[in-house]
Every structure is written in structure tokens, then in C-alpha cells.
Structure 1
């Protein structure tokens, strides 16, 4: 059965696992074709590509790249358009996330956290703008509920995500009326992997501070992305919180 989204093309960064993979599965189920970017998660990217192409042949391609290398960013856009013939949406999902304590912050941490969370989304948007104008497409940035209440010990990450919010609003100005630009700001959605800070005591405290008394799933973010992509034609420059109400209770 044809859907309104059939044959539309989305490029998503960091789409091979966790929240990115949830977004891919939900959008693919709606008939969208995907270019899934990954940096080091090659096995996960190939497995997801095979899973989705089994459901709909030739609907998913994958592309590798280090987003800190600005020289490759236009190529990600170019190869997506060459492969599928168009680009309807860019989802800036890829992110580095780890603490940066004042007094120990290094330039390499700054370059990594700012690069993946802010610099790459800007330059990818710049490269994608001509293709998105042709399709009257959209950009969706994945930011963080902590931008207004920065998390202690995460200075550089918090600054980068706050910048991404401003970038979202700036791009909404720059690319209107042809291209809509919005953001999703997740709260406690999936626990970070291999981080001892997020022990059971920490997790229970977070849940107790969250109005809905649970953490979110990847699908919660994916559904917000789908809404902004497909069902929000009069929304641009907006940041949609997906945090179970936690930001109201900090």
C-alpha cells in the first residue's frame, strides 16, 4: 500500500544503534528510504541495513564517515542524492557524550564534543540545503533537555547541545520558507552504556524526579521525530521535549 512518505529519503547520522536505530525502524515502516550514517558501528549498521532491506528491498543504504572530518560532510549528502535521487530530510542524531570536569577539560574533548554535537550538524545542514530546498524538506536535530539546566560535570557537552538549539532556530530563519528546521530534546531515554556513574542508585533517583516515573525508550524519541517530519507542516524553529516531564521537576 502506498503511503504519503513512500520514496522520501532521509539521511540520519549515527543511525546504526540505540535511539538512531529506533528512528530508522519507525521511519522505514512508514515507507521512507534511509541512508544510515555510522562511524565505527559497522556491524550494527550492516545488520540494520539487512533487516530493513529484507522488509523492503533496496530501501536502505549505509555510509561510513567521521563527522569530525569536515571534508567528508558534503560527500555524505552527495552520495545520498546520487544513490536515491533526492533528499527529503536530514536528522542530526550522532553525538559524543561524556563528562568534562572543570580543571581537566582538554582541547581534544572540546573538539570532539563540539564537533559531533554542533559543528557537524551545521556543516551538514549547509551542504544539504540545496537538495532540501528542492524537496521542501526538513532538518531535525537531536539535542538534550539539559540545555537549560546544565548537568554538573558535563560542561562542554552542555554548551554544544545548547548551541545546537540556537543552530536549530537560526537555520529555521535561514532556510524558510522552503525548509523546516526543528529539534527533539530527549530526557532520560535509555541509559548510557558502560558508564559507572549511572548505577542503580542514580537511575532510581532520575526515575523519581521524572513525572511519568519511568525512563523513555528509543521509540519515544522516534515518534517525536516522525511527528516533526510528517505531521507538523506549520512548525519550524521548535524544540520538542521528550523527557517524561523531568525538566519540570529539577
Structure 2
């Protein structure tokens, strides 16, 4: 038996930890060839050590240059590109508008939307010629926060609504040649999602919150605390031929929050 992604060539942006790293492992396990872009040099070194031969580019996904370098590395190593996945993100730790100092809004907004939205635009733009050539697909990372209130602060929630818009707009623009879909994970065990540096939260990781596993399981009908590995299978499905009739869609690995009483 072959894997779901046998013969596919993929670039995963934001691959150093959490969901992105789980996507790399799942894609490799399903037969794909993978290249990665990651900002954190230590995480890149760990990837290169644990997965010998993996093309790894160290760079800031919010920039055009880093995405173009990563696409070039993928093309040079893999010979083409069939799938682009973006898992880049930053969090605001539930800051409401009333908790945001007016003088910090400009910088916090710019950082949040650069990381959560602009990075994905740059990734798709850089990969577009190669994806057009292969008739490939794009999988962007949305969030439960883009569908239900209270799963993030005002900046995070609005940025993830923007990603919903990207999925819709790009799916329409790039059809029929390229499929574009999203995954909207719920809360995730083991994530290293960091806070905004502009709010002094860069050293704070969402995954290290005390009692997080019990809290996540307790707030959804399935009573499960999902990991990056759990979410990764949604990316596998959307990148595979099993979803060839789906574009502009979203998969919700969130424990059933939509049916919460």
C-alpha cells in the first residue's frame, strides 16, 4: 500500500514545533517529500538532526525573501512543488480591547497581522508559479477562534477571521488550477504558540499553561485534548487526492465545539 501523499512534494512553513512539526512527520509518513521554513534556528537544527536530508531554511515567514528562498530550496531539492502548508502563528493571550493600551495598538496590530496573515500571503505568492505548474494545493491554518468567541483576544480573533477570508478569496481566484483550503484547529496540547513581542508576551507559550490538557478536554463535547498529531491528519486529507473536489473549505478538528450545549 502507498501513502495518501505518495509522490507529493510539499513545503511546510512554520514547521519547527507544534502543529507544523506534526504535519511534517505525517506528510513524510504518508509518502511525501518535504521541505520546511522555520524562523527559530534552534528548531531548524533539531529538524535537520532528527530528519536527515530534510531541506531546512531558516527565515522569517513574514518576509518575501524568506518565502522565496524556501520555495527555491524546495524546488532545488524536490524538483517541484505540489503542496504548500502554512502553520505560522502568534497569540495575544485573550487580550480584550479594554486591556490594550492605546499606544500599543499600532505595533500589536502590525505584528499580529504580519505573522498570522501576511506570512501566508507571502508563502502563497512565492509558491504560486510552482503550484500552477503542478496543479497543486494550499492548506492554510485558520483557528476555532475564527468561528466562536472567547478563543482568543480581539487581535488574534480578527487575524484568524482574515485567514478565513484568504482561504475564500484565494480558492476563488486560483481555481480551477489550484485548490485552497483551511484547517481550523481547536485548542492544542503541546503547542509552542507564543505571545506578541509588542505586548511583552514573547516568552510566554500557550502550551505551558497549567492544567491545559484538562481544560481543553473539559470544554468540548468529545472530551478530548487534541495534539498537533491529531490535527495533522486534516492537513494530510486536504493535501491528498481524496479531497480533489474540495476548495474554499475548512476542516474543524476541534472536539465538536460547534455542537456544544
TM-score by length of 2: 0.84
The equivalences for 1:84-99 within 5 A come to 84-99=78-93
- Whether the aligned pair in 2 keeps the contact of 1:28 and 1:52 (CA below 8 Å) is no
The equivalences for 1:158-173 within 5 A come to 158-173=157-172
- Give the distance between the partners of 1:167 and 1:44, measured in 2 at CA: 28
Alpha carbon RMSD of aligned pairs, Å? 2.3
- Whether the aligned pair in 2 keeps the contact of 1:17 and 1:45 (CA below 8 Å) is no
- Whether the aligned pair in 1 keeps the contact of 2:36 and 2:70 (CA below 8 Å) is no
Instruction: Sort the Cα spacing of 1:249 and 1:2 in 2 relative to 1 into closer, same or farther, 3 A.
Output: closer
- Give the distance between the partners of 2:151 and 2:10, measured in 1 at CA: 35
Structure 2 partner of 1:78: 72
Deviation of residue 71 (structure 1)? 3.7
Instruction: Sort the Cα spacing of 1:153 and 1:34 in 2 relative to 1 into closer, same or farther, 3 A.
Output: closer
1:223 aligns with 2:233: yes
More displaced stretch, 92-101 vs 110-119? 92-101
Structure 1 partner of 2:201: none
- Structure 2: give runs of 5+ residues left out of the alignment: 193-203
1:107 aligns with 2:118: no
What is the aligned residue count? 243
- Whether the aligned pair in 2 keeps the contact of 1:192 and 1:198 (CA below 8 Å) is no
- Give the distance between the partners of 1:207 and 1:3, measured in 2 at CA: 31
- Whether the aligned pair in 2 keeps the contact of 1:67 and 1:115 (CA below 8 Å) is no
Instruction: Sort the Cα spacing of 1:187 and 1:179 in 2 relative to 1 into closer, same or farther, 3 A.
Output: same
Structure 2 partner of 1:14: 14
- Structure 1: give runs of 5+ residues left out of the alignment: none
Partner of residue 212 from structure 1, selected from 204, 222, 226? 222
The equivalences for 1:114-125 within 5 A come to 114-125=113-124
Structure 1 partner of 2:125: 126
More displaced stretch, 103-112 vs 225-234? 103-112
Instruction: Sort the Cα spacing of 1:6 and 1:205 in 2 relative to 1 into closer, same or farther, 3 A.
Output: closer
What stretches of structure 1 move > 4 A for 4+ residues in a row? 1-4, 191-197
Instruction: Sort the Cα spacing of 1:236 and 1:153 in 2 relative to 1 into closer, same or farther, 3 A.
Output: closer
Structure 1 partner of 2:28: 28
Instruction: Sort the Cα spacing of 1:61 and 1:19 in 2 relative to 1 into closer, same or farther, 3 A.
Output: same
Aligned-partner SS, 1:186: coil
